[in-house]
Structure 1
Amino acid sequence: MRTSLRRDLKAALKARDRVSITALRSALAAIENAEALPADHLRRTTENEHVAGAAAGVGATEAERRQLTDTELHAIVEKEAHDRSAAAGEYERLGRHDRAESLRSEADVLSRYLG
């Protein structure tokens, strides 16, 4: 799914499709965030006398990332689409029909990856 999202983002950028660009970037960012390890899992050393617990050495700032399953990827994209639909309903209720329509369009873009 991630490969499809990235490929389609590249096509959307070339086509200057703002709705697709926004939706795809957001979904990819959500995936990247989900892959990040919690801060307590990062490697730390206490060798630096100026900063307690500072990371030191080659590769000290690099951390392995979680490997998400297809089910987890699907759930993330589904949540992104659902959040947009819910927000669109709220904007509609507030009379912001233009913003509601934009969010519904973004949700439609993401829904294509759920089928």
Structure 2
Amino acid sequence: MSNDAAEWFRTRLSDDLRAAFAARDRAAIRTLRCIMAAIDNAGAVAVDANATHAASSTEVPRKPLSEPEIVAILQAEIVARARVADEYERRGNAVQAGELRHEIATIQPLTALLR
């Protein structure tokens, strides 16, 4: 994935987040924020103790992520939610399982954008 493609994907996530806010879809909002954070965390670069960043700086260097790396992040998020949803269903917590399945349905189309 080129930097342009990675930036396009981030823009797409932001657009989806705005749409989720407009629709007041709390599960989608929560899920998209989680995905954005997972991608940001995966791209984080270790900060040197001698770094010259300003103390109030909120921006840190990021490594570019490849398309397969982003897909792997999305798939890991899907798998984690599916496992917990299955456990909720086994314990009779259909509402919580349904919420997680909705989150999965929010993530799955994103993987198709990257393939």
**TM-score calculated relative to the size of structure 1:** 0.78
In the TM superposition, what whole-angstrom CA distance separates every residue of 1:7-26 from its partner, at most 9, and x where no partner exists?
Answer: 10011112111121111111
Partners of 1:7 and 1:63 lie apart in 2 by 23
Distance 1:102 1:43, change over 3 A: same
Deviations 1:40-59 (A, max 9, x none): xx2223xxxxxxxxx5x553
1:26 aligned onto 2:21: no
**Number of residue pairs aligned between Structure 1 and Structure 2:** 102
Greater share of helix? 2
Question: Is structure 2 residue 61 aligned with structure 1 residue 99?
Answer: no
Q: Which residue of 1 aligns with 2:48?
A: 43
3-state secondary structure, aligned to 1:113: helix
Unaligned stretches of 5+ residues in structure 2: 1-8
Contact 1:43–1:63, Cα closer than 8 Å, also in 2: no
Return the alpha-carbon distance in structure 2 between the equivalents of residues 75 and 14 of structure 1: 29
- Which has more radius of gyration? 1
Unpaired runs of 5+ residues, structure 1, are 46-54
AA partner of residue 35 (structure 2)? A
Q: CA RMSD in A?
A: 1.8
The question of 1:9 aligning with 2:17 is answered yes
Q: CA deviation at 1:63?
A: 3.5
8 A Cα contact 1:81 1:110, kept in partner: yes
Question: Could you tell me whether the CA contact under 8 Å between 1:9 and 1:21 is conserved in 2?
Answer: yes
Scaled by the length of structure 2, the TM-score of the pair is 0.78
Q: Which amino acid aligns with 1:26?
A: C
- Paired with 1:7 and 1:93, the residues of 2 have a C-alpha distance of 35
